[in-house]
Amino acid sequence: MKYNPIPSTLYEQNRTRFISKMKPNSIAIFPASPMLPKSGDGTYGYKPDADVMWLTGIVQEKTIVVLYPDNPDKNAREVLVLLRPNELLEKWMGHKLRKEEGTKISGIKNVQWLDGFDTMLQVMMNSADTVYLNSNEHNRLDTELVRLDLLFVEDIMKKYPIHHYERAARIMKELRPIKSKEEIEITQTAVNITAKAYSRVLKFIKPGVMEYEIEAEITHEFLRNRATGHAYGCIIASGDRARTLHYEENNSECKDGELILMDFGAEYGNYNADMTRTIPVNGKFTNRQREVYNACLAVHNHGKSILKPGLMFPDYVKSINEEMEKQLLKIGLITETDIKNQDPENPAFRKYFYHGVTHFLGLVVHDIGSYTDEIKEGMLFTIEPGIYIEEEQMGIRIENNVWITQNGNIDLFKGIPITVEEIEAAMQ
């Protein structure tokens, strides 16, 4: 791993939080994501299962976490299962964790090898009444793909068919959105690295530069600051390409007079930053660009001003949409007549703002959490309104990451250029 070691106390604290939600005499089993194959014999870069990472900090394939707080064997109430190292494997793939290394990272003292997992589990299952098994229950999951997590679930339930089973994902969806101070400190490091890359490209961008050259500058800054890499596909969209929300080709020339929308974030310690800025290629906003940008910024600032514990998420979104409608009226994109005659299911502002304004952020960029319940202290959100104008070949989006606290919201990107004046000054 490129990032500095993270104290095991974070993962110990997370396991305690999960265990507190378990039923009496229950066992929870979490397998890590496998290595995923490419064409031929290649594999994609390894990304651990977020729940296994949250519980242990371990980034190694074929890892399993077993929690059994009421286990009669007091030494086996938390067990970390690792792939057994062997000489040939390490000659090809590099170092694999030893037991003492697994303990140092996770804080779990009982570490077993994977080849003994079935025997160990049988003893535990013979004592346990309830079993928590995990699966990916993200609301936007593509369920047409083969579900490797469900293959593990099916295997366990086939071997032990008359236990009572529960969904670990239900507990994780409650716990993981509430970020601890330690998690925010790691995320802040990812944010700080992202801000360094932003500062670098503000000085680099000029008419004639290619979008992929900007991506290269960002990548360089990420890696030299110990980021694992990009949190997600880097979006460098100049001109009309900024209206494509997930534009990742990054292969066009940035031209004089255009705006360039940059949506990128660093991953550090497996936590993610997520920032968007829209800046003028030549360093100077036109009057119209300034007008639209300030409208978008007003919506962004409105979102920050109303986010607080106890606010229902749908009410937050409704307020954002009302502010967007107000700003689009102000800059002449919609009229009072458009609003009066609009379809309630497809309001007039949706022509120019056609995505959500906020998502949870954490170990996953679009992290788990409820979009129907109340906002709670400790949640970490993006705020990312956008205005996209086909007839003007313009797209503007502004995004920061905000941590909800009882004493006010904390903008993790506070202090980096966001206003028209700050951006223009930084680009000189």
- Condensed to tens digits (0 to 9), the pLDDT of residues 333-345 reads 999 999 999 999 9
Instruction: Kindly report the number of other CB atoms within 10 A of residue 271's CB atom.
Output: 28
In sequence order, what DSSP letters do the residues of 349-393 get, joined into one string?
Answer: GGGT--S-S--B-SSSSS----SSSB--TTBEEEE--EEEEGGGT
In sequence order, what DSSP letters do the residues of 383-397 get, joined into one string?
Answer: E--EEEEGGGTEEEE
Q: How far apart are alpha carbons 256 and 250 in whole angstroms? A: 17
Q: How far apart are alpha carbons 386 and 356 in whole angstroms? A: 9
* pLDDT confidence tier of residue 145, bands split at 50, 70 and 90: confident
Say what the pLDDT of residue 28 is.
98
What's the token pair of residue 97? Answer: 């964790």
Q: Is the pLDDT of residue 332 over 90?
A: yes
The packing angle between helices 211-224 and 181-204, to 10°, is 140
Amino acid (1-letter code) at residue 392 = E
Mean pLDDT for the stretch of residues 46-57: 93
pTM of the model: 0.95
Q: What is the CATH number of domain 181-427?
A: 3.90.230.10
Q: How far apart are alpha carbons 402 and 113 in whole angstroms? A: 41
Say what the pLDDT of residue 142 is.
83
Average pLDDT of the chain? 96
Amino acid (1-letter code) at residue 419 = T
* pLDDT confidence tier of residue 45, bands split at 50, 70 and 90: confident
Q: How far apart are alpha carbons 40 and 186 in whole angstroms? A: 36
Alpha carbon of 134 to those of 56, 106, 150, 205, 290: distances in Å? 15, 19, 8, 45, 48
Q: Is the pLDDT of residue 288 over 80?
A: yes
Between residues 138 and 285, which one has the greater pLDDT?
285
Say what the pLDDT of residue 40 is.
83
Q: How do residues 171-199 score in pLDDT, each as one tens digit?
A: 999 999 999 999 999 999 999 999 999 99
| Distance between first and last Cα of the chain | 37
Q: Measured on CA atoms in the order 256, 261, 288, 426, is the torsion positive or negative?
A: negative
Question: Where do you find CATH 3.90.230.10 in the chain?
Answer: 181-427
Q: Measured on CA atoms in the order 411, 415, 419, 423, is the torsion positive or negative?
A: negative
Listed in order, strand segments (DSSP E) in 223-274 are 229-230, 235-238, 259-264, 266-268, 271-272
Alpha carbon of 405 to those of 178, 179, 180, 280, 380: distances in Å? 10, 10, 11, 34, 9
> What share of the chain in percent tops pLDDT 90?
90
Q: How do residues 394-422 score in pLDDT, each as one tens digit?
A: 999 999 999 999 888 999 999 999 999 99
Mean pLDDT for the stretch of residues 83-108: 94
* pLDDT confidence tier of residue 354, bands split at 50, 70 and 90: very high
Q: Is the pLDDT of residue 155 over 80?
A: yes
> Among 36-50, 156-170, 257-271, 376-390, which stretch is predicted with the lowest mean pLDDT?
36-50
Question: Where do you find CATH 3.40.350.10 in the chain?
Answer: 9-175
CB burial of residue 8 (10 Å; 0-12, 13-18, 19+): middle
Listed in order, strand segments (DSSP E) in 101-239 are 110-113, 130-133, 164-167, 229-230, 235-238
Among the listed residues 194, 202, 201, the one whose alpha carbon sits nearest the alpha carbon of residue 427: 202
> Among 145-154, 186-195, 282-291, which stretch is predicted with the lowest mean pLDDT?
145-154
Among the listed residues 138, 133, 137, the one whose alpha carbon sits nearest the alpha carbon of residue 159: 133
Mean pLDDT for the stretch of residues 87-114: 95
Residue whose tokens read 């996770």: 106
Q: How do residues 159-169 score in pLDDT, each as one tens digit?
A: 999 999 999 99
Mean pLDDT for the stretch of residues 284-304: 98
Which is the CATH superfamily of the domain at 9-175? Creatinase/prolidase N-terminal domain (3.40.350.10)
Say what the pLDDT of residue 66 is.
98
What's the token pair of residue 208? Answer: 């004639």
Q: Is the pLDDT of residue 46 over 90?
A: no
Q: Measured on CA atoms in the order 171, 172, 174, 178, is the torsion positive or negative?
A: positive
Q: How far apart are alpha carbons 411 and 274 in whole angstroms? A: 12
Amino acid (1-letter code) at residue 180 = S
Instruction: Kindly report the number of other CB atoms within 10 A of residue 1's CB atom.
Output: 12
In sequence order, what DSSP letters do the residues of 173-191 get, joined into one string?
Answer: HHHTTB--HHHHHHHHHHH
The packing angle between helices 287-306 and 420-427, to 10°, is 120
